[in-house]
Amino acid sequence: MGGHKFHGDMARLDNPRRKEILPVEPVIEVLGGIKDGLAVADLGCGTGYLSVPLAKHLDGHGTVYAVDINPKALEVLKEKAAGIDNILALQSEENKFPIESRTIDVSFMVAVFHELDDPSSFLMEIRRISKPFHQIVVVDWSDVQGEMGPPMSERIPEKDVIKFFKDR
């Protein structure tokens, strides 16, 4: 693990082709019914590819904690989220999030797992910020060559990601 961190052209994160390959609607549907006060973390949010649609989806019913280590990406997110009151853009370290313990109901990791230097420490930090009943949603690049995404050497087979979470 420990692939490169994305520091490229931020426009690539909102590429229309990416939206075809990875539409956000099915990811958001994982939430199911929304209860008031829902706290959602988008860990490794980048420019808000998921955070902004999530915040709009939760409008009036919950808060999105958009967390990333890249301050440039967070600046783009803040521009995109102008006028959206239920999104908090937070700069973090990889394994230390500026979120109080036992705050989050659902954590999303979209195209993040393959970049982690220390997945176990990352998971421990998710546990710290999570309420006792919590969901973690992981969406990442498959280990099949495609037209987008990280190099094959950095992709992690789905079975290995599932095993990681089951073993912990």
Query: From CA 137, how far away is CA 32, in angstroms rounded?
Result: 13
Q: Please list the rounded mean pLDDT of every run of 10 residues in the chain (168 residues).
A: 54 66 83 85 95 92 96 95 96 96 96 92 96 93 75 84 89
| Tokens 């390959």 belong to residue | 21
Query: Helix, strand or coil for residue 43?
Result: strand
pLDDT attached to residue 26: 85
- Residue 2 has what pLDDT? 53
* pLDDT tens-digit readout, 45-60: 999 999 999 999 998 8
Predicted pLDDT at 146? 73
What are the residue ranges spanned by the domains of the chain?
A: 14-29+36-142
pLDDT for position 25? 87
Residues 6+ away with beta carbon under 8 Å from 59: 86
Question: What kind of architecture, by CATH, is found in domain 14-29+36-142?
Answer: 3-Layer(aba) Sandwich (3.40)
